[in-house]
Chains A and B, each alone.
Chain A
Amino acid sequence: MLRKIRIVVSVTLFALITLYFLDFAGFMPQGFHSLTKIQIIPALLALNIDVLVGLLILTLLFGRVYCSSICPMGIYQDIVNRLSKRFQKKKRFKFSKAQTVLRWSVVSVTLIAFLFGFTFLLGLLDPYSAFGRMTVHVLKPAYLAGNNLLESIFTQFGSNTFYKMGVYVASVSSLVIALVTLLTIGYLAWINGRIYCNTICPVGTVLGFVSRYSLFKIRIDENLCNSCGLCGRKCKASCIDTKSHEIDYSRCINCFDCLEVCSQNAMKFTYPAQKPIQHNANGIDESKRRFMMAVGVAGLAATQVFADSKLIKTSKKQAKRTTAISPPGSTSADHLLDKCTSCHLCVSKCPSNVIKPAFTEYGLGGIMQPMLSFEKGFCNYDCTICSDVCPSGALLPLTLEQKHVTQMGQVQFIIENCIVHTDGTSCGACSEHCPTQAVSMIPYKNDLTIPHINTEICVGCGGCEYVCPTMPYKAIYVEGIANHNIIEIKKEKVEEIKVDDFGF
């Protein structure tokens, strides 16, 4: 029963979160982004206390339920594992020793890197974010292609229910990382179940530690057990030592598979009964873990203090834009780099395809972090989707009014490239797209108008840069700024104008 509940819950959550990532048409209500906000690393970075306390209580009560049913990467591995059984009918798992040193080393290295402002590693290993990238970069193109196929079929029959979507690679580096993640974790899951969760995943390691103290656990009733070893062979976490009747709770992910297979009813998910079974690891290990945990908690707190004092690290490259433009709500590249785990939900949700994973534009630590890029579109003035959906607080929510006065970058004009100057013909495409008229058209020779820029009221949306027709170099572009600014837009008086005649 428990196993069935687990499967129903996890498959539902997995389907919803995956669809939410893929959904470009907006058929899923915005509210579904809460599925990403209950993910542990984003919640930790956003200091989303409610979620953290909730997950902690959940774990202290029932163990690693997060890993079995909430974490999409965990469920992905279960799906792969299930598929593998179709091909390996006699697939058996075997108890293995816990990789305690490796696990805590990964946690420490990730933490230290994070403390030194290298969030990249945390983002790389965080199972939710890694899953997000897999979905956005590998699955979504397939989803869009499927949509386009349906579109062509439906259009053939005169229905315009579907519309075409462009399929393209948002970022090669992120695609490669996503693909490697997908294949590596998939391969590990195929051969031996939840290896990633129990050797690499820092979330798994920490939750595994917490769940050692959880109230409800899977317990073996040695009186009923006939030592058939079936539970151990079915355990995809390889954590049941059937010889000694011991379960390594730091690795048990509460899949309840063992409960279902035990013919003797010897496996129970219970509250500690008359005789709580204590199979502690040795004391040295325990203290080591406590120490690590303390370091972790202290470290996380410290980052918040450090956060504002760091300097921006931008890499100089030959392109004109020397500072990457961080998305709306990020307040600064620093803030972004501290908080973002690169789940790429914003990349997927941006209706204008403006958010793209960076390569080294933010420096090495900023690989995969979202930045604005105006090849496919420009940032819609009246849109706040990215900051609405961000689960980690890297993009802080903006109201429409706040968005309208948020400056993410500043317009730069190169008159030598401008059509009006070089060809002596009209254009005005840049000004046409400018929501604040930071780019306006002023009189030029021969009845022509030429762009004039006012960086003070520029929001950095990139409409001008996107639409500027000059090649190969644009005549107008947006330069990033280290810290976002608040601009002041003067309210204009509405004058009553009456038109009484035709004028001809």
Chain B
Amino acid sequence: MDRRNFLKALALTGATLTIKQSGAVTLMTQHFNAASAPAANAYDLVAVMGGEPVAMFRKGIAEMGGMAKFVKKGYKVVVKPNIGWDKKPELAGDTNPDLVAEIIRQCIKAGAKEVIVFDHTCDDWRKCYANSGIEAAAKAAGAKVLPAHEESYYRTVSLPKGKNLKSAKIHEAILDSDVWINVPVLKNHGGAKMSISMKNHMGIVWDRGFFHSHDLQQCIADICTLEKAAVLNVVDAYRLIKTNGPRGKSEADVVLSKGLFISQDIVAVDTAATSFFNQVRDMPLESVGHIAKAQAHNLGTMDIDKLNVKKIKM
């Protein structure tokens, strides 16, 4: 090997190392690794309407290339729904339990070694887990349901790309998983305007108070710079909370909208879901500050027209 070739090799190795260091690229490689054999018609975003939660997810994930594209044999998977409130499924405060169960079943079918479900709830966690129907549905589907109510379940992770949020305590289940699937429910939010995929990250962190006191919209975008990004975002819009969210007062706040959105691009999926919500109640994208802030972090695109989108009406 002559000197030139040696230097070339050295430079190349160095370049590869720097790439490895970059969070964004890691994110991409993670996705590409997961998609070892990308389907010819792989979509960036799949939107489904008009069906029951399970049927919509089956259609949607098939169009995304199937669960096996994201969950490999022997993976430890976390499915992270929103279980924030002590509410029954009809009140849409929490993710639909049937959808959660179906995702778990598909993960196990794809060969997942273990599927874990948890959420850092707002109401008493035991009541949330039980009354949302998620604990029972998840266990029946074969998942482990873990608590998240004590600080000791969380580990500090630094967020070098965060603007206001430089580090956060993240639930160990997420950190110890091979991949995690983010399954929010579509809701109006009094402070953040919308609660979708990005806002659902507040259920994997311990200190939410910091978010609220250090510019909520910025912190929501910042937490999504977490190196271990969700491999999939599945937005449950079977029922949505249009007013008085994210908790809702009564049935009057709930709309049976029968929608579902799936994407790896968290900005795109929240953009799509907000536009969907906008048909029920005026909600301009600009008002949902964290979406644009996440785009500024290069976490995805709000320009969904440029993406390969599949829309299915059932």
Contact = CB atoms under 8 A, between A and B. Distances in A.
A499 B258 contact: yes
Contacts of B259: 499, 502
Nearest to B209: A469
Interface string A403-423: 000000000000000010001
Number of chain A interface residues as a range: 35 or more
A471 B191 contact: no
A447 B287 contact: yes
Contacts of A428: 189-192, 212, 216
A402 interface: no
A495 B252 contact: yes
A447 B244 CA distance: 17
B191 A503 contact: no
B250 A449 contact: no
Contact of A351 (B126, B146, B213, B271): B126
A26 B126 CA distance: 10
A433 B247 contact: yes
B251 interface: yes
Nearest to B277: A503
Contact of A470 (B122, B213, B215): B213
A436 B212 contact: no
A435 interface: yes
Interface string A249-278: 000000000000000000000000000000
B35 interface: no
Given A352-B124, A504-B304, A426 B217 contact: yes
A504 B272 contact: yes
A501 to B, nearest CB: 7
A350 to B, nearest CB: 9
A368 to B, nearest CB: 25
Contacts of B249: 435-437, 492
B127 A437 contact: no
Nearest to B48: A502
A426 B215 contact: yes
A164 B146 CA distance: 11
Given A497-B280, A499-B280, A431 B147 contact: no
B279 interface: yes
B124 A351 contact: yes
A469 B211 CA distance: 9
Interface stretch (A181-189, A213-221, A312-320, A376-384): A376-384
Given A160-B144, A469-B213, A502-B49, A432 B191 contact: yes
Given A351-B124, A351-B127, A449-B191, A434 B247 contact: yes
Nearest to A352: B124
B86 A382 contact: yes
B97 interface: no
Nearest to A380: B124
Contacts of B209: 429, 467, 469
Contact of B272 (A426, A432, A502): A502
A423 B51 CA distance: 43
Given A382-B86, A426-B215, A428-B192, A164 B153 contact: yes
Contacts of A471: 213
Given A351-B124, A352-B124, A469-B210, A425 B218 contact: yes
Interface in A423-482: 423, 425-429, 431-437, 440-441, 447, 449, 467, 469-471
A493 B271 CA distance: 30
B123 interface: yes
A435 to B, nearest CB: 7
B191 A502 contact: no
A311 interface: no
Contacts of B287: 447
Interface string B180-202: 00000000011111000000000
A76 to B, nearest CB: 30
B217 A435 contact: no
A172 interface: no
A399 B257 CA distance: 33
Contacts of B217: 425-426
A435 B127 CA distance: 15
Contacts of B189: 428, 432
B303 to A, nearest CB: 11
B311 A502 contact: yes
B23 interface: no
Contacts of A281: none
Contacts of B131: 382
A470 B247 CA distance: 21
A426 B276 contact: no
Please name the 6 residue pairs, one residue from A and one from B, whose CB atoms are nearest each other, closest first: A428-B191, A492-B252, A441-B190, A428-B190, A504-B275, A469-B213
Interface of B: 47, 49, 86, 122-124, 126-127, 131, 144-147, 149-150, 152-153, 189-193, 208-218, 242, 244-247, 249-253, 255, 257-259, 271-272, 275-280, 286-287, 289, 304, 311
Interface of A: 26, 160, 163-166, 351-352, 377, 380-383, 419, 423, 425-429, 431-437, 440-441, 447, 449, 467, 469-471, 491-495, 497, 499, 501-504
10 contacts: A160-B144, A380-B127, A427-B191, A427-B212, A432-B122, A440-B190, A447-B287, A469-B209, A497-B257, A502-B272
Given A419-B213, A428-B190, A503-B278, 16 more contacts: A163-B149, A164-B149, A165-B150, A351-B127, A352-B124, A380-B127, A426-B216, A426-B217, A428-B192, A433-B122, A434-B247, A447-B287, A491-B250, A504-B271, A504-B272, A504-B275
